[in-house]
Amino acid sequence: MKTSALWLMASWAALAVACKDKPAENPPPSCPPGTGWNGAACVAMTGPGPGPTATTTATTPPPDNTTPLPIPTVQPGPAATPIDPTLAAAAGPAIDALAAQHAQGMSVVTTVAGNFGPGQTLTVDFQADPGRCYVAFASGLPGVTEVDLQISPAVSMPGVPAPILAQDQTTGPTAVLGAKPNCFKWAAPMGAPMRLTVRGTQGQGVIAARLYMK
């Protein structure tokens, strides 16, 4: 009986020692978002974070560039008063100088002259032959400040303005249509009637024009 009592006391003592060595388990403290408890402190989590939030961005569609540009047409104007080209001989030297630069080896098709007011026009028709090159020059005498040249079909549909096929890119009292090497070339397989329009855009006075062909 004494031995049993001693064994029981030894067992309770051992259990007491074991319970004393093992601390009580407490729940880990709460850590801020993005951190975790490593057993000693709150540390930043090293795992992959949440993926990026998908966003929808409104886009503006590209501009529609398929709309064809409007075709320039001859704008009718009041008619200038035609005169004999010999009366505009003073404009000849300026035209000769332009022809020497842009119409070498070409022949004269026609010459016209007129007395122009602001915006008035003078026209002359000619036959454009396949593969031929055409160049036109105009020169205004003192009083004329802007001259323009245009080539268009001589015949168009009723009520429809004639499209401009070629026009000068110059400014001032002289004009060059088809400056070298960009002559007006009729590429159709058959000839067609064309019209050269001389316009006194600004100023007033005598203007002479000459058409060349090669």
Across the range 118-144, mean pLDDT stands at 96
Q: Is the pLDDT of residue 49 over 60?
A: no
Residue 115 placed within a domain = yes
Q: Give the predicted TM-score (pTM) of the model.
A: 0.67
Does 120 map to a domain? yes
Is residue 201 in some structural domain?
yes
Q: How far apart, in whole angstroms, are the C-alpha atoms of residue 2 and residue 129?
A: 144
Across 159-175, b (16+ Cβ under 10 Å) vs e yields eeebebbbbbebeebbb
CA distance 208 to 113: 4
pLDDT of residue 39: 73
Residues β-bridged to residue 113: 208
Does the structure show a pLDDT above 80 at 109? yes
Specify the number of domains making up the chain: 1
Q: Which domain holds residue 101?
A: 81-213
Q: How far apart are CA 99 and CA 177, in angstroms?
A: 11
- Is 88 contained in some domain? yes
Share of the chain residues as helix, strand and coil, in percent rounded to the nearest 5: 20, 35, 45
- Indicate whether 57 pLDDT > 70: no
First to last CA, the chain: 145
CATH number for 137:
2.60.120.380
Residue 157: phi and psi, rounded to 5, are: -70, 145
Residue 67 belongs to a domain: no
21 — pLDDT class (breaks 50, 70, 90): very low
